[in-house]
Amino acid sequence: MIIVVNKWDTLEKDNHTMKNWEEDIREQFQYLPYAPIIFVSALTKQRLHKLPEMIKQISESQNTRIPSAVLNDVIMDAIAINPTPTDKGKRLKIFYATQVATKPPTFVIFVNEEELMHFSYLRFLENQIRKAFVFEGTPIHLIARKRK
């Protein structure tokens, strides 16, 4: 996903126009923090030459495969930063994670109890994975699954 803002040539701009527009777009599309924003003008062809390269990079991000050992290192580092949550005296235990698909990158995290994996902790793990690897422009799916 790329957020393309067209008609950029029609606006009166100052030094903060682009920054202000980007903040407004991020506010409106909070569920797309991974999507890059590009301001273009189809009429003047301003910044249009950047789109093919961005599309190529996002396609590569969608096809990225992360080795399980490297992924688990990132997950263990994340747990060290922010320990797993507890509920009613039970602590979530993360055993390991593995990537099961691309387009979009999908990761299964094997845990002791799926119910203990709160959505906010999943989001934290997603942010840590995004920080460690380049997944710009593509969503990431994390699935908590009970280890058998």
For residue range 107-147, what is the model confidence (pLDDT) as tens digits? 999 999 999 999 999 999 999 999 999 899 999 999 999 98
pLDDT per residue over 11-66, tens digit each?
888 889 899 999 999 999 999 999 999 999 999 999 999 999 999 999 999 999 99
Distance CA 125, CA 84 (A): 10
pLDDT per residue over 6-15, tens digit each?
998 888 888 8
